[in-house]
Amino acid sequence: MIGALLLASVLQQAPKAFVENPVSTQEGVHFHAALEVGALALPSGAGANGLDGFGVVFPRLSVRGGDEFEFELGAPLRLRVLDREPLKDAPDYGGYLRRQDWDERSDIGQLLRVLRVGRDDGAFQLRAGAYTTWTLGAGWLVNRYNNGLSPDYHPAGANFIAYLGPTRVELFASDVLAGRLFAGEFRLDLGRVLSDEQTAFDRFLLSVDVAHDQGNAGVKSHELSAASVGLQAGVVRSDTLQLWLQAAAGARADTLIESVPDFGAAFGVVARGTPSETLDITGRLEGRHQAGRFRFGFFGAGYELARFSGVGLREAPLAEEVLPGTFSGYGEVAARVTPVADGDLALNVSASGEYFVTTGRVDADAALQATLPGGNTVGELRVILTDVTGMPRYSVATELRHRFLPAVYGVASVGTVHFPQVDGESVRLVRGFTAGLGVGVDFER
């Protein structure tokens, strides 16, 4: 896999609770069961947006079969204890279970926490569940996408990858139970087509990406379609360093307005270094020219909020934003520290940022997942910043887990939440803060 695709692998899946040490390579079938209980403060999402109080019961059951199969089932049941602002037209189920968590078909998807079929280096791979920093190919359309930003919308996404000769096909759905974001990439290894020399294999790649959001779940939003074509060339390949040049062109596929140039072009470089067996670092720098209703990384980290308000809380949705013709600079870095022994540090960290020259706009986001030495403490952080210098919007989510006893651990979380609210013919975002504290018990066999 080329260096650019490492950026797609860091923190793609939703973080799990406690699992075995990442260095473990146990064979056979293994079962893991856990039950968490705790308290949660969560805004009402309407009116004054006062904090409601919930008791949370979160059962989970997972089965793992080596490197080729895994699934986990479970869902947090939020039971309302304190209601600061009752909604007369939408009472909770049974008077306690939070209705907004189960009031649409997509919410059933939250029962599937993780599904994995096929090895990472196999001919095909199927993954499903929640996604936090998912990237399609080199990320020209779908980049660091998070499908879990709305506290009232709980979809299960899925992606499928298949290799056949010189081709690689990847399909993605952000919500397998509803008409939401669908994307796909067809990639052709030109080296395998034009040469029989192994030195040319996986070195010259042509890719075509398409993405379409029907906007039919988690509060209806505008439809949006985009497409891109890209070329990647590996100019340096050694055991410790890879250097790639890449270029792409993209356009909106659903707006053909003569007065608005809905297209863009980009050129950049990706470098991947593996200075040791435990450290893997990838960096990406890219210059872009984009305008109108198209920009690269359209379906990005904050897209689930931007589809209602491109920036801020009550502005035009991303599908209708018109970007003045501008150049921008984009950068991204990802690092992975892999433990070599039980109890070693395990770390996945990545960050990205884009600066728009004409408008001065700055977007950025970062993700972190760390298992501290000893293996008893796991921390996770996600920060998404949109239009920092103009109409800023920020999303923050952090969680800390610490194991006190072999089968007992504590959980603490804090962050921001945004609720899309229909306001006449438009949708606005209502922002609030949430915090939780709990304890869990688990066992594995």
**Is residue 16's pLDDT more than 60?**
no
Q: Which residues, other chains included, contact 199 with Cβ-Cβ below 8 Å and sequence gap of 6+?
A: none
Cα gap 266→117, rounded to integer Å: 34
Query: What is the signed CA dihedral for 248, 254, 260, 262, rounded to 10 degrees?
Result: -10
Q: What is the pLDDT of residue 336?
A: 95
Residue 410 contacts residue 402 (beta carbons within 8 Å)? yes
Predicted structure pTM score = 0.90
C-alpha 189/C-alpha 2 separation (Å) is 11
pLDDT at 3 over 80: no
Average pLDDT over residues 351-367: 95
Task: Look at the block and give the residue holding tokens 């020219």.
Answer: 289
How far, in Å, CA of 290 to CA of 284, rounded? Answer: 18
| Phi/psi of residue 197, nearest 5 degrees | -80, 130
Query: pLDDT tens digits for 307-318?
Result: 999 999 999 999
Is residue 247 very low, low, confident or very high in pLDDT (cuts 50, 70, 90)? Answer: very high
Distance of CA 291 to the CA centre of its chain: 25
- Residue 302: predicted pLDDT: 95
Reply yes or no on whether the pLDDT at 61 is more than 90. yes
Interatomic CA distance for residues 293 and 320, integer angstroms: 7
Distance, in Å, from the CA atom of 352 to the CA atom of 330, rounded to the nearest integer, reads 7
CA distances to 135, 287, 388, 411 from 356, in Å: 21, 10, 11, 39
Structure tokens at 352: 């990205």
Distances (CA, A) of 250 to 73, 209, 367: 38, 9, 27
CA–CA separation, 178 vs 240, rounded Å? 43
User: Percent of the chain, pLDDT > 90?
Assistant: 67
Q: Which of 86-90, 307-311, 410-414 has the weakest average pLDDT?
A: 86-90
pLDDT band at 10 (very low <50, low <70, confident <90, very high): very low
- Asked if residue 25 has pLDDT above 70, the reply is no
- The pLDDT-based confidence of 11 (bands split at 50, 70, 90) is very low
Residue-wise pLDDT tens digits, 225-244: 999 999 999 999 888 899 99
Give the per-residue pLDDT at 425.
76
pLDDT given at position 21:
41
Model confidence at 92, in pLDDT bands (50, 70, 90)? Answer: low
Per-residue pLDDT, 307: 95
**What's the average model confidence in pLDDT over 61-88?**
86
Residues 285-341 have pLDDT tens digits of: 999 998 888 999 999 999 999 999 999 999 999 998 888 888 999 999 999 999 888
Task: Tell me how far apart the alpha carbons of residues 155 and 224 are, in angstroms, rounded to a whole number.
Answer: 19
| pLDDT tens, position by position, 159-186 | 999 999 999 999 999 999 998 999 999 9
* pLDDT over 70 (residue 9): no
- What is the distance between the alpha carbons of residues 330 and 324, in angstroms, rounded to a whole number? 17
Residue 303 parent element (H or E): helix 303-306
